[in-house]
Amino acid sequence: MHFSSKLLEQAVEEFGKLPGVGKKTALRLVLHLLKQSKEDVNRFSQAFTQLKEHIKYCKHCFNISDTDTCEICQSPKRDRTTICVVEDTRDVMAIENTNQYQGVYHVLGGLISPMDGVGPADLRIDGLVDRVRQGDIKEVILALSATMEGDTTIFYLYRKLQEFSIEVSTIARGIAFGGELEYVDEVTLGRSIMTRVPYERKVG
Amino acid sequence: MHFSSKLLEQAVEEFGKLPGVGKKTALRLVLHLLKQSKEDVNRFSQAFTQLKEHIKYCKHCFNISDTDTCEICQSPKRDRTTICVVEDTRDVMAIENTNQYQGVYHVLGGLISPMDGVGPADLRIDGLVDRVRQGDIKEVILALSATMEGDTTIFYLYRKLQEFSIEVSTIARGIAFGGELEYVDEVTLGRSIMTRVPYERKVG
């Protein structure tokens, strides 16, 4: 691609670094931005620097939050004895949208993936174990994607949590194998939380 | 979508304003950005504010440029008697990539589209007419999209340029090279039969 402007090229390059955004799409988006007012472009840019600068992670569940303790962990309506373990904040949003779950969450920040160099130490697993050790937790629901990485993480977490007298469950596999959690429709996802099964039943 | 953070929601909203970027994609991109370093996020943001602040449009052809006169208009190798009229800078890039054109350009900045509220006054048409009036222009090539808007703009420009003793041409329309006849759409195929050219002219 031959750019008529270095500034244009840089902006396209930055956009092109985003996952799933090719050079042509990046150029289309940058040219769209260029047509906006200076104020709009500034607001666009600042949204990301502000987010990066001021974002917090809830000290209990590690979900993205504007405060030290997120809304869900603060809410008196939520059942603090049930923790739903998810990969990232998108999964929290997806589960909240189903209106089927009243417990709290624990956001791992990823899945164990040796191929991508992500080990257990890179995730908030110690934080989860601490919560189980300290609190009156009755059940931990492992709501992870039905992928190789999800299964690996479930297996790892299950072994870590075995020493505690709590129930460990996984969401029902009503969702297609290989499917990623965030793309599952609400009804299916809600059902699969409702019909969760104890982990040992699945392996036993 | 229920966001756990106002900052997150704002960033997703800003991304979601871009054409063809849905809420889910926006969220995915923002979460990707969040995983980058502060420096990377700053560089990302600044690329757009810098572009918007410092971008120039060539005073001759209105192409995006870092200087008052773009590289193409500056080049002594280009034929200044031929102007290729295009919609935007992407078209300049596409034509430059072909290495088939040695003239200069004129970037309209859009196409006439009553549906979108874009009239002739919103485009750099006066600038084009001025160039033709002033300079030793021999030919104006209208290289616009084969759409309703493109055709409307071509017709409008053709009438505007009629008073000058120059050649006005449009790029050839027809079946793409390498294209298999059976997969060509009916309109293109029909038109290309209607506008068939003598064989010797094609090779000669």
ipTM (interface predicted TM): 0.76
Place of tokens 């209106």: A99
User: Own/partner pairs for A126-134, CB < 8 Å, 24+ apart?
Assistant: A127/A62, A128/A83, A128/A85, A128/A157, A128/A160, A129/A160, A129/A161, A131/A60, A131/A83, A131/A106, A132/A83, A132/A161, A132/A164, A132/A166, A133/A164
Report the C-alpha gap between B158 and B113 in whole angstroms.
16
**Rounded CA separation B121/A197 (Å):** 66
CA nearest A86: which of A113, A61, A50, A59?
A61
Q: If you measure CA to CA, which chain A residue comes closest to B51?
A: A7
> Which has more confidence, A1 or A203?
A1
Give me the residues of chain B with pLDDT under 50, please.
Answer: 202-204
Quick one: pLDDT at residue B199? 65
Which residues on A lie below 8 Å from B6 (Cβ)?
Answer: 66
DSSP assignment of B48-74 = HHHHHHH-EE-TTT--EESSSS-HHHH
Report pLDDT for B201: 52
Q: Per-residue pLDDT tens for B20-69?
A: 889 889 999 999 998 889 999 999 999 999 999 999 999 999 999 989 99
Beta-strand runs (E) in A108-144? 139-142
Residue of B6, B9, B41, B52 for testing the chain A interface, max A β-carbons within 10 Å:
B52
pLDDT for position B170: 87
Inter-chain residue contact A49 with B42, CB threshold 8 Å: yes
Q: Which residue has the higher pLDDT, B187 or A153?
A: A153
- Do residue A4 and residue B72 have CB atoms under 8 angstroms apart? yes
**What residue ranges define each of the domains in chain A, with the CATH number in brackets?**
6-54 (1.10.8.420), 70-203 (3.40.1360.10)
pLDDT at B190: 78
Residue A46 pLDDT greater than 80, yes or no: yes
pLDDT at A157 over 80: yes
